[in-house]
Amino acid sequence: METLQFDDLIAPADIREYPVSLTTTEANLTGSWKFSRPRQAKKTAPCRDACPLGVDIADWLHLLVRGERDAALHRLRAVNPLPASTGRVCPQFCRRACTRRDHDAAVRSGALERYIGDYGLGVPFPVPASATGWSVAVIGSGPAGLAAAASLAAAGVAVTVYEREAAPGGMLRCGIPAYRLPKEILAREIDNLVISLGIQLCCNVPVDDRMLAELLGEHAFVLAAPGLGGSPLPAGIGAGPGVYRGLELLRRLAAGEVLPGDRFAVIGGGNAAIDAARSLVRHGRQATIIYRRGIEEMPAYPEERREALEEGVEIRLGTIVAAARGVDGGRVELDLHEALRAADGTVSTGSFSDRLTVDGLVAAIGQKASWQPESHKRLLTAGDFHHGPASVAEALAGGRRAALEMLRRRGMAREPAVGPAEIAANPAALAVLAPQPGVDPPRVPHRERRNSFREVCGPLSAEEALQEAARCLRCGTCTACGLCWFFCPDQAVVIDQRGVEPVVRFDYDHCKGCGLCAASCPRGVIDMEEDS
């Protein structure tokens, strides 16, 4: 077969000249074609935005990964003075917002906070600033009071904390059982805080209106953060033998008191109800929770609900205790009725469904203030006393805000560092990352949990903590991971490695504005903007 050659098809005379490039394509400035251009910006990580305290979780986790454990502790404590406690009891709003949540598993930020907090039990706080010459009285040593005291003392303010109980901690000590927060851990963390920062702590000192007036005369400000010490009883149920208020029961059990009887009913669906039931089980009692709505509507943390069921707590849903009366032997007879749900979501009492006789009835349906002081321009409030029942993290945030307000009024504005307004988000880009399973802390088997107040959740080892911390993507911060460089079809992304850390730069002369860099950025720090 004859093979045709190029010259057989086109005669040399038909070609005036051959176009030959003697340079690279850099001279072809294709960037002039684009209508949009990539822009890199520092943003707030979703976890930080979700945290009531605004903790920059990615920041201190990065320090931990780099081996700078003391720096990580200092960075975390600057906002949260009780990380060993919150690492155990916080509902972890941050994990719900974690970018990795739907990719493989949210970063175990609570377990990591506990790890660094436990390390910090033996590490003093930094030396406070020079004395300001003015003082503040704080009423209540719960999370709000302690957060305010820590912020003020670190700024050089003389702080005296008044606590009506025999030991500090508020609801952390009296309301949260030891299987969630060991009392030794709490005591060590508070002692370290108080001693390091020179805070004066006065226990067994209840504050009334008369003493409040004295404190206002002695101090520049007074912060009222006594918590909500009272628990209401449901309508139609009066006080009497065998009837306990939720917080009262938790205090008595925490003090080691043994209650008479074998079977208890707990009304409510919050954490106090779950804690009461699980504590009773550990005392060898049967516990039944009675809640008017469905299990997904229970305000108690999902993990607490699950563990309660594992430990043998019975939960009756869609049920209302319509009446309770004392019977022989100090027992309580309950009339249980069906809970009727209206179209607007409200619940009312329906028809009779059952009768239950118990040795004790626990009402854990809410909390209320047991003291209401008169307002004063130099009296501030914080924590549950200010905004109602909430999480420990929210109480800490409230105490810190109150302290910053006092400093602002005295011309010592020390506003906390806040992240940029934009929230980093690009979960679709995680598709290019291989899943990396998280590290789960060890847990005591439920059969063993029923017999003691031993802490249910164990700690991460040092190796596990570093492994888990390394899973943090550092959303909102460019890490020069190189994915934008890899996906750019025009080689218009440059990773500049001349500095201490590599930096991503864009070659706008050749970028066509396709947006692949923004679409592939797992940390959500690249946006496309109109080209000018």
Q: Which class is domain 30-44+476-530?
A: alpha beta
292: amino acid identity, one letter: R
**With the C-alpha atoms ordered 73, 75, 80, 81, is the resulting torsion angle positive or negative?**
positive
**Helix H or strand E segment including 154:** helix 143-154
Predicted local distance difference test score (pLDDT) of residue 16: 56
- Using CA atoms, how far apart are residues 144 and 225, in angstroms rounded to an integer? 6
| Fold for the domain defined by 259-363 | FAD/NAD(P)-binding domain (3.50.50)
- The predicted pLDDT at position 366 comes to 83
Domain ranges of the chain: 30-44+476-530, 259-363
CB–CB of 108/100 below 8 Å?
Answer: no
CB 497, CB 520: distance < 8 Å:
no
Q: Kindly report, residue by residue over 381-413, the tens digit of the pLDDT.
A: 999 999 998 999 999 999 999 999 999 999 997
Contacts of 92 (CB under 8 A, 6+ apart): 109, 110
H or E element: which one contains 351? strand 347-358
Contact 125, 153 (CB under 8 A): no
- Residue 7's contacts (CB-CB under 8 Å, 6 or more residues apart) are none
Q: What is the dihedral of CA 27, 30, 31, 35, to 10 degrees?
A: 160
Q: Which amino acid is at 506?
A: F
Radius of gyration of the chain (CA): 30
The reported pLDDT for the residue numbered 6 is 47
Compute the distance between CA of residue 234 and CA of residue 156 in angstroms, rounded to an integer: 46
Q: Which pLDDT tens digits describe the chain residue by residue (532 residues)? A: 555 554 555 455 555 565 655 666 677 777 788 899 999 999 999 999 999 999 999 999 999 999 999 999 999 999 999 999 999 999 999 999 999 999 999 999 999 999 999 999 999 999 999 999 999 999 999 999 999 999 999 999 999 999 999 999 999 999 999 999 999 999 999 999 999 999 999 999 999 999 999 999 999 999 999 999 777 888 878 888 899 999 899 989 888 888 999 999 999 999 999 999 999 999 999 999 999 999 999 999 999 999 999 999 999 999 999 999 998 888 999 999 999 988 888 888 999 999 999 999 999 998 888 889 999 999 999 999 999 989 999 999 999 999 999 999 999 976 656 677 899 989 999 998 999 999 999 999 999 999 899 999 999 999 999 999 999 999 999 999 999 999 999 999 999 998 888 999 999 999 999 999 999 999 999 999 998 7
- Long-range contacts of residues 402-405, Cβ cutoff 8 Å, at least 24 apart: 402/144, 402/148, 402/223, 402/225, 403/147, 403/148, 403/149, 403/150, 403/151, 403/152, 403/155, 403/223, 404/151, 405/380
d(CA 532, CA 529): 9
Residue 137 is predicted with a pLDDT of: 98
Strand partners, 380: 223
